[in-house]
Amino acid sequence: MTMSNPDVRDKRSFTRYPTKDSCAVMLTPGHILSYCILDISESGMAFCYDGPANESKLLDNVAATFFTENDISSDISVQIVSDTEMNEEKLFHPSEKSRSKNRYLRRCGIKFRSLSASQEDTINSFIQNLQTH
């Protein structure tokens, strides 16, 4: 994977691979943690999380930590490209059903900005593992 200038790439030009339950991602600031990564590509990933809308998409300094079964890759610079409700139905936080109309389950898409060689290796290894299992 060559990440010399990921900002000029079209996110749809990369194959997306569905993930398994053995991974997680955390975004900071905001401390969004997701154990439900929906898919990953060489240029980014999508995941769902439980919480209010992510205001970090307005910030330039968003970092991700990516946890796989065998490795951790931290301080990945990312850009949030989407943060939307999972679907048009009203989805409620389980403890809030009786008193809140706020929608909580959201889908977030992020684009990797600049990856170090070890971060590229972690993501490539993870994608290769998805293809073989």
13-114 is classed CATH 3.30.70.1250: no
Tell me what pLDDT residue 70 has: 77
Q: Give the burial class of 68: count Cβ atoms within 10 A of its Cβ; 0-12 exposed, 13-18 middle, 19 or more buried.
A: buried
Phi first, then psi: give them for residue 67, nearest 5 degrees.
-110, 120
The ranges of the chain with pLDDT < 70 are 1-12, 21, 54-60, 87-103, 133
Tell me what pLDDT residue 8 has: 41
SS3 category, 102: coil
Tell me what pLDDT residue 131 has: 79
Closest by alpha carbon to 124, among 73, 49, 62, 63?
73
- Parse the chain into domains and list their residue ranges: 13-114
Tell me what pLDDT residue 78 has: 92
